[in-house]
Structure 1
Amino acid sequence: MKYKKIREEELKNKVGADWFKQFDTTEILGNIDFTLFPKQDSLFGRAPLLWAEAKTGNFDIPTMFVQLVLTIGKARTFDKTLPPAFLGAFDFKKIAFVDYINIQDIFYLNDFNWNVTPSNHDTKEFKLIKERIEAVLKTKTYVFDYQKDEKLLNTFIKNNVAKATTKSKIKIDKNNFIPIYLRWIEIVRPIIDVNWDDLKKANIFDSDFYLADIFVDDKGTQNIDDDLTIRDSLFVVFQNQGYKIAKENIKQMFDATIIIRNKDAYLQFWKLYKRPPIEEFQDYIIERKDLLVPQDIRERKGAFFTPRIWVELSQKYLTDYLGENWQDDYYIWDCAAGTGNLLTGLTNKYNIYSSTLDQSDVNVMHERIVHGANLLHNHVFQFDFLNDDFTKLPQSLQEIINDPEKRKKLIIYINPPYAEHGNRTTFAGDGDHKASVATTSKIYNKFNKIVGTATRELFAQFFLRIHDEIPDCILASFSTLKHINAQNFLKFRQYYKAKYEMGFICESNTFDNVKGKFPIGFLIWNLSDKKEINKVETDIVNKYGEFYGIKSFYAFGRNDFISSWLRKFYDKNNAVIGYLILPGVDMQQQNGVYITLKPTDSDIAQHKTAIITKNNLVIMTIYLTIRQVIRPLWLNNRDQFLHPNENWTSDLEFQNDCLVYSLFEGQNKVTSKDSINNWIPFTEQEVNAQNRFESNFMTDFINCKIKIENETDLFENSTNQPTKREFSEEAKDVFDAGRELWKYYHSQHNVNVNASLYDIREHFQGRNDKGRMNSKSDDEKYMELIGELRNKLNFLADKIKPKIYEYEFLKE
């Protein structure tokens, strides 16, 4: 065998390095074991080449493929991102490939339970899939032994995988033909060589060209020359690699073929979609071609829009939850509509209501209706959702809200304004004036005493009114995840009761005018099922709208946060050796957590300080460490730090690792300019100091020469208190690197003998005109030493990280 007695992760790494080194094998896509992408992305996003199942040992090929199919089907990965050219399976001995297109129909089985565990080979679902695909695999699978078929495998990868384009395209149906049209307008319309104004006079629109494009048989190829129209009755048809006007009374005016100026861009666009549309939806699309209207939405200054990609994806999630015919079976009200772009792509105008605060936005929507937007004039109206009474609503909408049964069929579909009292940035909605009403609305006054500070945020006010005054409806909304896990939403969660159904999160910077990087979610709530929020599991999508994993958010109670743990160790009775500055308990507050000898008046006034003494030094350094070693990314930006379990108390190595990390971490901002520096981790002899230190507290503490009182609060029992601290190899490496830096500093002239690490950095790096410390120094020796210290500190951080989750300071 090529590979023996290695773990699955190592097998995946070796297969990637040995056979696919010219590709990107680093992408993590949900629970799929192994993915393969070209190293370069195209203009239209990532084009996957292979999704594969990996197994240790010598495994049955059909069994591996079945587990892969169930993994893909359970997460609906095939529907959330562009499928690959190949599916694969490999173990220690062999690797197998099958064209995805040969088994893609398995994912469209009706009445199939995809929620089974893929690794359970005894379920009826596993056996059913195996029975369905075994015959295909016998004739369509390419199997290679790593050793016997080495040359053949390399040739197959070079000639097939490397040159593959994704063969399985997104199928066009009744729910996505409009969003695809909106993308087509951006990419294809500009490269059609025609005078659109002349065509418009003859009542020929860009939508006619779009229909000509989708109603062709592409013969399953990427070639434009074999595309053949299947509908001669259209106003415009695709013919001879271009377009012909087929409308009888005007085709003489446009007799020549209308050409495509950039055929490469055209082919790139259409390789994403399977043409023609699914047969059962073709007549529907033709009958409802009136829904394809020219894009003349005006963006007023100060108006914000939900990005088109998230409009499309949110409607896809509603389809998954409510069924294919949801737009006919349910009523839809966007009560924070702006100029109405969230409703783009909806088909049944008789079931759609749209309201917004500003009459000017209503005027824009009415103008769009004149130009063909799929809305009813009298279903679009001005309404201040946070202040107006429901008696101002159209009578037909009042009847829905007042009827308990119809109310269950009402979807409040919104991207509400995201403004907070004192913050003039809006994440979406109708303009920055929303912030000024955050604490003046009737809804704020009604709920302020009930749910507290959560009412300062406008999206929460929308949720509260919907929850109270439109009970049993469905709420489908974009928002941050604050209402799920934030500390200041505790009272909100105690009040708001609803069942979470499904949703996705994306990065905030995909929205206009949003600062910072954090998750924005589209979540669907069933308000007729009054459940407490405990855990919300969302799909994660990248900037292209492609699914690549699942993220959980947890609803915590007052005593679940790390602040309640830290309070147990507050000490106001012993000598102060420093202050821990601690703002909020979520990941985004990381830069605000640091150690100092001199807190600001503001920090003291806002109760953001904790005194550090000999008795709680270890605890405070644990706190600083866990707040710093996990770096904030958009995905974890709103994660909350929690009250840990008790297992950390008996882990002395973890405690000592945190102590060492905090001594050398950049957020240790102790400076001897503020007070006596008790934080020097070395003796004078170790660093060849030019004079005696004012304080040897830290080395005495490290060597257990300082008695810790009430040690049973820190250690599992009093006998566990060490007589000498033992450090891990990673911690020792940090000490060694730090010692060399201190030595170099003390070899300079006119140094501060009591300098802290912060003082040493300032000495070599200096400050700029604005008083900020420079990031670099001209001293090459110093840069080498500080670089080595940071490198060793990173190794120590990597050792600490798993224990943060093991001891539940954070939850995954």
Structure 2
Amino acid sequence: MKYKNIREEELKNKVGADWFAAFDTTEILGNIDFTVFPKQDNIFGRTPLLWAEAKTGNFDIPTMFVQLILTIGKARTFDKTMPPAFLGAFDFKKIAFVPYINISDIFYMNDFNWNVTPSNHETKEFLLIKERIESILNKNTYVYDYEKDEKELQTFIKNNVAKATTANKLKIDKNNFIPIYLRWLEVVKPIIDVNWDDLKQANIMDSDFYLADLFVDDKDTQALEDDSSIRDNLFVVFQNQGYKIAKENIKQMFDATINLKNKEAYLQFWKRYKRPPLKEFQDYIIERRDLLVPQDIRERKGAFFTPRKWVELSQKYLTDYLGQNWQDDYYIWDCAAGTGNLLVGLTNKYHIYASTLDQADISVMHERIDGGANLIKKNVFQFDFLNDDFSKLPQSLQDIINDEEKRKKLVVYINPPYAEAPDRNFNKDGKAGVEQSYVNKKYASILGQGNRELFAQFLIRINKEIPGCILAEFSTLKILQGKHFSDFRLNFKAKIETVFIVPADTFDNVKGKFPIGFMIWNTDYRNSFKEVEADVYNKDGQYILQKKIIAYDNSNFINEWIKPYRASKTSNRIIGKFPFMGNDFQQQNIIQINHPDMIYNKAAGQFLINEYNLIIASTYFTVRKCLQATWLNDRDQFLYPDDGWLSDTEFQSNCLTYTLFNNNIQSQFGTNHWIPFTEYEVNAQDKFASNFMTDFMKSPPTPKGVAVTNDLFSNACQPELVSGSPEMLKQVQHDKNKQVRNDKALVFSPEATAVFNAGRELWKYYHKMASQTRNDVYNANASLYDIREYFQGRNEKGRMNSKSDDATYMELIGNLRSQLAILADDIKPKVYEYGFLKE
């Protein structure tokens, strides 16, 4: 191999000398491994050509790019300097390039923790970025082997990297208009002679002035006098060496030209850039005005941009439901239009209405109309849907809404804003003012807790005040499944006709991993939602499966089932506990079995475990943990099971096994009762403080199955041994009576036995290795958590490392995890069979 067995610094030097000799590769930019610049600066400053990650081994290309992206994002290098034309990644064998423009959106993800260590490949942030870019890299990456592709690599650098150099002004495109804006805020905004607080009260943002600057024809001169706007319908336009705001937009607050306090500083800033932006990107920049709105304002308004692929898919579903000629047969109103991107692709402009809260967005849509957007200006208007009376609507739209038959030909087609009020304890990151709208006050009694969300207020007004219309809307599945939306479902009367669901993180300004649905409702029917089959698409827009979405109203949930079996605090020998809160996958991470003396998540209910409820506790724990939480099942609810599981001793023993090798017991807090082996089995160098678990199981499992106490479940159902209300205890007694009482013991399945065998080898290896170290390190009573901590250690922040340098340990823990995964796969069908989850 060309660069095998050399250190990273030498690799970077050789790659620079062999392939980029015509450029400057000496500049150090933050923690980026390798940069490429033109050898000579021009009068407009440095123009980076390539930022790259370097590795000395033979590395996976996506992994290298993820580390580079995290490095750039952590230092916000993309904010501080002009980004390059390409990102790169290379090791001793190959080099890869991807156009920066293809991944630039990643740096503007909301609610992303950029402070993780880029080199830690196991963080959730690293895995999230990797998941997001792999499909991008498959389509847009150029990969070259140094030896096999020598000529192709030279040609690529010559025709692509080299040509990114320019001695002229930098051209503005979709790649760089946001970084330019961030520098504009520092240089130009302070020299605009205006009171920004007054403008903000009028919903006029600095970004409106930036767009005014962008859409100027600079005539290829350095003179300010000949600069003129190319888009006079923007909210703010550049005019007479200053700015002008249309009077109708500001209610005569500002009716004069807004001047520049320092024209020379303005000229010095803009002489670096060629204005206007490249023609092919102008519509994109106008359309993505939302990216220039400050984050706090975007979140307060709850606005976000609908990705084009979901717009196109939603219009296909509308066509499938309403027929090929639906745009001629129906009228369409987007009453939360933003800059109108949801309406792109619609053809009959005479049937389309668009309204939004901000006049600046109306100006953008009017500008887009001048640029060819398929809309009519008089049908694009400012309207506060949650506060304004319908009498403010255009008369033609009022005529449709006020006519019962015409309403049936109206499609309200929206992606409503998402903002949530703070909860009652103000411990949630909510948005003040959400509950103050006219609509909320009018319908608060029927919205229930749904009144805390803007989108629910939109939907209830449409349902109640435009009855008979077709409602086609994007929203979370809360309205279908959320516990706090039961009142909403009771009062929102419509028939759901069709649904598709997609990952929420494909949208801007959306938090978390959960589904967003596009739902078509016929409000001419007055039904309450019960269930629907939804089409599921992955992040790339590919159909993957159908999923039943059900309302859980009047359902009994898993926490109602488990609560009566809690051991009381005065019970003898409490061996562990776990917190329980919520009945869905969102709370999965908090469910951990810990030592009873460990303080963990006091806000949740605490389930205390003793010998009488261990099987039930293990069943609950396994059911909640054996299925991975995904964006798709995020809203699924765990339920009160039917009676089938009571007589399934193999299922119970599988759950016990899964729990024994998945708990977070730490012996530092007290006696460890969770050792699943005897001292003899693992060659311990001292007697265990507790043999509870092996006594409980009577003997270690063998492939043929091992007898266990035959009344374990019955004991757990004895009311005198648990705490709870009389009603709960009555239910416990009911379950006890339902129990199939016979002499058949719990039987460990082959899958469970394989887990025990893998675990035994891990414990044996620990006792062998730890006993050879200092006495104060060896812990005969080590739990699985303790063993992991011993081999993996902790980083400088006190977190347990994800890996160990001990290859034997890594093999043993890997084998245990593999066997646990097989066991989990055996358990999962029973979770649905016994009604813990509905398919």
1:776 CA displacement: 0.9
* Contact 1:649/1:715 (8 A) holds in 2: no
**Alignment-derived partner of residue 681 in structure 1:** 676
2:587 to 580, 586, 589: 589
1:414 CA displacement: 0.4
Write the mapping of 1:429-578 to structure 2, written as runs, cut at 5 A. 435-572=431-568, 574-575=571-572, 576-578=574-576
1:297 maps onto 2:303 in alignment:
no
2:797 to 770, 778, 781: 770
1:626 maps onto 2:623 in alignment:
yes
CA deviations over 1:76-113 (Å, ceiling 9, x no partner): xxxxxxxxxxxxxxxxxxxxxxxxxxxxxxxxxxxxxx
Question: In the superposition, relative to structure 1, how do residues 717 and 314 fare at CA in structure 2: closer, same or farther (>3 Å)?
Answer: closer
Question: In the superposition, relative to structure 1, how do residues 319 and 598 fare at CA in structure 2: closer, same or farther (>3 Å)?
Answer: same
1:779 maps onto 2:769 in alignment:
no
**Alignment-derived partner of residue 401 in structure 2:** 401
For 1:476, the aligned partner's letter is A
Q: For residue 667 of structure 2, give the secondary structure of its aligned residue in structure 1.
A: coil
1:654 CA displacement: 0.2
**Alignment-derived partner of residue 738 in structure 1:** 759
For 2:338 and 2:767, locate their aligned partners in 1 and report how far apart those are by CA, in whole Å: 64
1:364 CA displacement: 0.8
Q: For residue 496 of structure 2, give the secondary structure of its aligned residue in structure 1.
A: strand
Question: In the superposition, relative to structure 1, how do residues 754 and 447 fare at CA in structure 2: closer, same or farther (>3 Å)?
Answer: farther
For 1:334 and 1:766, locate their aligned partners in 2 and report how far apart those are by CA, in whole Å: 56
For 1:357 and 1:611, locate their aligned partners in 2 and report how far apart those are by CA, in whole Å: 52
Question: In the superposition, relative to structure 1, how do residues 724 and 746 fare at CA in structure 2: closer, same or farther (>3 Å)?
Answer: farther
1:627 CA displacement: 1.8
For 2:689, the aligned partner's letter is E
1:710 maps onto 2:717 in alignment:
yes
For 2:443 and 2:763, locate their aligned partners in 1 and report how far apart those are by CA, in whole Å: 57
For 1:371, the aligned partner's letter is G
Select between 624-633 and 336-345 the one with higher mean Cα deviation. Answer: 624-633
* Contact 2:314/2:518 (8 A) holds in 1: yes
1:447 CA displacement: 4.3
1:306 CA displacement: 1.1
For 2:433, the aligned partner's letter is V
Write the mapping of 1:143-542 to structure 2, written as runs, cut at 5 A. 297-300=286-289, 301-302=292-293, 304-422=304-422, 435-542=431-538
1:805 maps onto 2:832 in alignment:
yes
Question: In the superposition, relative to structure 1, how do residues 594 and 447 fare at CA in structure 2: closer, same or farther (>3 Å)?
Answer: farther
1:722 CA displacement: 5.6
1:654 to 630, 645, 651: 651
Structure 2 residues not aligned, in runs of 5+: 1-98, 100-172, 175-216, 218-281, 294-302, 424-428, 699-707, 719-732
Question: In the superposition, relative to structure 1, how do residues 674 and 444 fare at CA in structure 2: closer, same or farther (>3 Å)?
Answer: farther
1:609 CA displacement: 2.8
Runs of 4+ aligned structure 1 residues displaced above 6 Å come to 293-296, 599-602
**Alignment-derived partner of residue 601 in structure 2:** 603
For 2:808, the aligned partner's letter is K
Q: For residue 601 of structure 2, give the secondary structure of its aligned residue in structure 1.
A: helix
Question: In the superposition, relative to structure 1, how do residues 404 and 610 fare at CA in structure 2: closer, same or farther (>3 Å)?
Answer: farther
Question: In the superposition, relative to structure 1, how do residues 676 and 714 fare at CA in structure 2: closer, same or farther (>3 Å)?
Answer: farther
Q: CA RMSD in A?
A: 3.2
Question: In the superposition, relative to structure 1, how do residues 343 and 709 fare at CA in structure 2: closer, same or farther (>3 Å)?
Answer: closer
CA deviations over 1:704-738 (Å, ceiling 9, x no partner): 56962436666675663668542111111111211
For 1:596 and 1:338, locate their aligned partners in 2 and report how far apart those are by CA, in whole Å: 49
1:620 CA displacement: 1.8
Q: For residue 579 of structure 1, give the secondary structure of its aligned residue in structure 2.
A: strand
1:644 maps onto 2:641 in alignment:
yes
For 2:401 and 2:576, locate their aligned partners in 1 and report how far apart those are by CA, in whole Å: 59
For 1:785 and 1:602, locate their aligned partners in 2 and report how far apart those are by CA, in whole Å: 29
For 1:336 and 1:760, locate their aligned partners in 2 and report how far apart those are by CA, in whole Å: 55
* Contact 2:616/2:716 (8 A) holds in 1: no
* Contact 1:702/1:725 (8 A) holds in 2: no
Question: In the superposition, relative to structure 1, how do residues 376 and 517 fare at CA in structure 2: closer, same or farther (>3 Å)?
Answer: same
1:330 CA displacement: 1.5
Task: State TM-score, norm by structure 1.
Answer: 0.59
* Contact 1:599/1:609 (8 A) holds in 2: no
* Contact 2:440/2:457 (8 A) holds in 1: yes
For 2:354, the aligned partner's letter is S
* Contact 1:490/1:558 (8 A) holds in 2: no
Q: For residue 314 of structure 2, give the secondary structure of its aligned residue in structure 1.
A: helix
CA deviations over 1:509-528 (Å, ceiling 9, x no partner): 33234343332211101111
Select between 477-486 and 703-712 the one with higher mean Cα deviation. Answer: 703-712
Q: For residue 524 of structure 1, give the secondary structure of its aligned residue in structure 2.
A: strand
**Alignment-derived partner of residue 687 in structure 2:** 692
For 1:600 and 1:327, locate their aligned partners in 2 and report how far apart those are by CA, in whole Å: 63
* Contact 1:581/1:599 (8 A) holds in 2: no
Q: For residue 578 of structure 2, give the secondary structure of its aligned residue in structure 1.
A: strand
Question: In the superposition, relative to structure 1, how do residues 620 and 438 fare at CA in structure 2: closer, same or farther (>3 Å)?
Answer: farther
For 2:360 and 2:559, locate their aligned partners in 1 and report how far apart those are by CA, in whole Å: 47
For 1:642 and 1:761, locate their aligned partners in 2 and report how far apart those are by CA, in whole Å: 33
**Alignment-derived partner of residue 143 in structure 2:** none
For 1:580 and 1:602, locate their aligned partners in 2 and report how far apart those are by CA, in whole Å: 9
CA deviations over 1:472-496 (Å, ceiling 9, x no partner): 2211011121221222322222222
Aligned residues: 517
1:391 CA displacement: 2.6
* Contact 2:754/2:819 (8 A) holds in 1: yes
1:757 CA displacement: 0.9
For 1:495, the aligned partner's letter is N
Question: In the superposition, relative to structure 1, how do residues 717 and 338 fare at CA in structure 2: closer, same or farther (>3 Å)?
Answer: closer
For 1:715 and 1:727, locate their aligned partners in 2 and report how far apart those are by CA, in whole Å: 22
Q: For residue 673 of structure 1, give the secondary structure of its aligned residue in structure 2.
A: helix
For 2:671 and 2:655, locate their aligned partners in 1 and report how far apart those are by CA, in whole Å: 23
For 1:309, the aligned partner's letter is K
Question: In the superposition, relative to structure 1, how do residues 437 and 660 fare at CA in structure 2: closer, same or farther (>3 Å)?
Answer: same
For 1:295 and 1:771, locate their aligned partners in 2 and report how far apart those are by CA, in whole Å: 46
For 1:381, the aligned partner's letter is F
For 1:346, the aligned partner's letter is L
**Alignment-derived partner of residue 579 in structure 1:** 577
Task: State TM-score, norm by structure 2.
Answer: 0.57
Identity of aligned residues (%): 56
For 2:657, the aligned partner's letter is V
CA deviations over 1:660-686 (Å, ceiling 9, x no partner): 101102xx1111222332222222332
CA deviations over 1:47-74 (Å, ceiling 9, x no partner): xxxxxxxxxxxxxxxxxxxxxxxxxxxx
Question: In the superposition, relative to structure 1, how do residues 415 and 577 fare at CA in structure 2: closer, same or farther (>3 Å)?
Answer: same
1:436 CA displacement: 3.9
CA deviations over 1:610-662 (Å, ceiling 9, x no partner): 22233322222112212222222333233222222221111110011001101
For 1:474 and 1:794, locate their aligned partners in 2 and report how far apart those are by CA, in whole Å: 46
